[in-house]
Amino acid sequence: MLFVSDVHGAMDPLRRLVESNEQIVILGDLANLTDYRNGEGAVADVLGLEFARASADARASGDYAGMRALWMERVGENVEEVRAEIGRAIERQYDEVAVALVGGHGLVIHGNVDRPRRLRESLPDGFRYVHGEVVDMDGLRFGFVGGGVETPLKVEGEVSDEEMTSLLDGLGAVDVLCTHVPPAVRSVRRDVITGKEERGSGPIRDYLLEHQPRFHLFGDVHQPQATTWRLGATRCFNAGYFRATGRFLRLETTMVHVGRIR
């Protein structure tokens, strides 16, 4: 069973992963709004690469006010029109996701960049959207909760702490917890390239400490200070950043191995 996260439009490597004929679990962020390394993505498709890079730099530094100012200067009164154009660019990405996944099989949750309804609709036969569900596989109980931590942007893929707590409570105890976001533990939520500390999820941290699942698999932070961590009895693993690295995790009953698709 292979786990990936933060695909962000990397369709060719995803197709090659599907061709392995192994079960694939995608832990969110299939869409690519903006690649923070080079600006590529839906925003650049609509507003140009230079603007996308400037906006990405403000977002990466946590300067939401500066990011909003850039957008207002660039978009002006055409906010809804531009938002619709970006939405159509993301729709096209999900069409590409559908093609890339054809012939494979697995499970999917959404990330903070994703549009959950559109993602769910794009999945071909063989793939199942499992946000908020428990699935029994290979003698283990897997719990799935998608979504990103709430930010001032209030985008569709975000989940509030209150909703996250409710979803986790609904899972009960599991052997493997699968989420998009990491727990609120500094070393796994700090991006060493941007220098930014992502918020991480307090409810996920609390769930791990209470229920002590065997493994916690997640993504979201692209260049974390630590890709593995232990929280109590739980071994935590960041599965991403698939777009940049082709990294995946292979889960066996008692072990997690790192692999890469080229």
**What is the rounded average pLDDT for all residues in the chain?**
92
Distance CA 18, CA 2 (A): 10
Question: Could you tell me the two tokens for 22?
Answer: 């192994």
Closest Cα to residue 145, out of 178, 115, 103, 170?
Answer: 178
pLDDT tens sequence across 63-103: 778 888 888 888 777 878 888 899 899 999 999 999 999 99
Cα–Cα distance list, 158 to 47, 94, 144, 145 (Å):
23, 18, 15, 11
Question: Could you tell me the two tokens for 29?
Answer: 């962020």
Distance CA 173, CA 125 (A): 29
Distance CA 43, CA 132 (A): 29
Closest Cα to residue 117, out of 85, 146, 76, 83?
Answer: 146
Say if residues 177 and 207 touch (Cβ distance below 8 Å).
Answer: yes
**pLDDT of 69:** 85
Give residue 7's region: left, alpha or beta (phi > 0; psi -120 to 50): alpha
Q: What are phi and psi of 258, to 5 degrees?
A: -95, 135
pLDDT tens sequence across 189-239: 988 877 777 889 999 999 999 999 999 999 999 989 999 999 999 999 999
Distance CA 65, CA 209 (A): 35
Distance CA 135, CA 255 (A): 19
Say if pTM beats, i.e. exceeds, 0.75. yes
Closest Cα to residue 103, out of 23, 8, 25?
Answer: 23
Burial group, residue 12, by CB count within 10 angstroms (0-12, 13-18, 19+): exposed
The domains of the chain, with CATH numbers, are 2-31+97-260 (3.60.21.10)
Cα–Cα distance list, 22 to 19, 104, 137, 221 (Å):
8, 8, 13, 25
Distance CA 242, CA 8 (A): 8
Residue whose entry in the numeric block shows the structure tokens 């055409």: 78
Length of the chain: 262
* Letter string b/e over residues 197-207, b meaning 16 or more CB atoms within 10 A of that residue's CB: ebbbbebbbeb
Cα angle: 133, vertex 138, 261; to 5 degrees: 85
pLDDT tens sequence across 146-195: 999 988 777 889 999 999 999 999 999 999 999 999 999 999 998 887 77
**pLDDT of 161:** 95
The region of weakest confidence among 24-28, 130-134, 153-157 is 153-157
Coil, helix or strand at residue 235:
strand
**pLDDT of 77:** 79
